[in-house]
Chain A
Amino acid sequence: MTNILLITFAISLIYLGLANRLGSYINALVFQGIVLFGVAFIELIEINLINLVFVLLETIVFKAIIIPYFLNYIIHKNKITRDIEPYLPDFVSIVLITGIILGSFLLSNSIQDSHVRKIFFVVAISALFTGLYIIVSRRKIITHVMGFLVIENGVFILSIALGNEMPMLVNIGILLDIFASVFLLGIFANKIGDVMKEQDVEQLSNLKD
Chain B
Amino acid sequence: MNILSFILIVFASLFFSGIIIRTKSIFSGRKGPGIFQPLKDIWRLFRKGAVYSKTSSFIFQIAPSIYFASVLMAICFIPFGNQPGIISFKGDFIFFAYVLALGKFFIIISALDTGSSFSGMGASREALYSLLVEPAFFILMGSFALLTGHTSFFEIFSSLHFGSHISYAIGILAAFVFVIIALIENSRMPMDDPKTHLELTMIHEVMILDNSGFDLGLLLSATHLKFAMYGALIANFFLTPNYEWYYSIPIFISSQILFAIVIGTIESFMARFRMNHNPQYIFMLTSISLLIYLGVLLILGKIV
Contact = CB atoms under 8 A, between A and B. Distances in A.
Interface of A: 1, 3-4, 7, 10-11, 14, 17-18, 89-91, 93-95, 97-98, 101-102, 105, 108-109, 117-119, 122
Interface in B262-304: 277, 279-281, 283-284, 286-288, 290-291, 294-295, 298, 303-304
Contacts of A118: 303-304
Nearest to A117: B304
B303 A91 contact: no
A120 to B, nearest CB: 10
A96 to B, nearest CB: 11
B284 A4 contact: no
Contacts of A7: 166, 169, 291, 294-295
A135 B304 CA distance: 31
Interface residues of B, number: 19
A167 to B, nearest CB: 23
Interface string B159-183: 0000001100100000000000000
A105 B304 CA distance: 12
Nearest to B303: A118
Nearest to A114: B304
A124 B277 CA distance: 28
A94 B287 contact: yes
Nearest to A13: B287
B284 A3 contact: no
Contacts of B294: 7, 10, 105, 119, 122
B298 A91 contact: no
Given A3-B295, A7-B295, A119-B298, A94 B280 contact: yes
6 contacts: A3-B169, A7-B294, A14-B288, A18-B280, A117-B304, A119-B294
A91 B283 contact: yes
B169 A97 contact: no
A14 B287 contact: yes
A90 B166 contact: no
Contacts of B288: 11, 14
Given A4-B166, A122-B294, A98 B304 contact: no
Contact of B166 (A3, A91, A93, A97): A3
Contacts of B298: 3, 119
Nearest to A92: B280
B303 A108 contact: yes
Given A7-B295, A10-B291, A105-B294, A98 B283 contact: yes
Nearest to B169: A4
Contact of B286 (A10, A18, A98, A109): A98
